[in-house]
Amino acid sequence: MLIDFISTLSVAFGVAGVLLIANLVVKRLTGQPLPKWLIPAGIGAGMIAFGVWNEYTWYSRVSGQLPEEVVVAAAPPERAWYRPWAYIVPLKLRFAAVDRGAMVRSTADEDLAVAPVFLVERWAPTRQVTVAFDCAGHRRADLGPGAEIGQDGTLDSVDWRAVGPDDALLKTACDGG
């Protein structure tokens, strides 16, 4: 968030510099300076435009930097009353990604897999959760401290949740997205 603040201030100074130079040029050419309200209004408009651009490009910039084996499973669109433009074009401010490169399949049951899932959210630290997927049973389980993978490749002490075949995380882990 601090980087966003510094970036917005940089845009404000940049726009101010451009408008001050434009004011000097217009004053030399016409003898009249630009209207006094134009510089603060231009700075404000530049800051708002940068903020909107920064919000809308965050998802593509962050997800584009992920390694090939980390696949985005879900990125729900969001709307908010304090972002009225998001009702026209919703924002993506969080997503879940499955690390298929670090996925481990059970030796006893091919339909059982364990993979790290990254929960990425704007202005929040990225969280990693290890999740077990039962591809045939259409269920998944977050693996907590009590969960153990047995010698035979099965999972003990897990709380399975039925999610259905259309669950985005399950589809990404089992079918590759």
Average pLDDT over residues 70-84: 92
Q: What average pLDDT does the segment 12-30 reach?
A: 96
Residue of higher predicted confidence among 74 and 85: 74
Whether the model pTM is above 0.95: no
Domains located in the chain, CATH noted: 2-63 (no CATH), 70-175 (2.40.128)
Residue 138, judged by CB atoms within 10 A of its CB (0-12, 13-18, 19+), counts as middle
- pLDDT (tens digit, 9 = 90+) per residue, 114-125? 889 999 999 999
Nearest alpha-carbon partner for 129 in 141, 113, 111: 141
Residue 174 and residue 139 in contact, taking contact as beta carbons nearer than 8 Å: no
Mean of all residue pLDDT scores within the chain: 90
pLDDT recorded at residue 84: 87
Provide the residue type at 62 as one letter: V
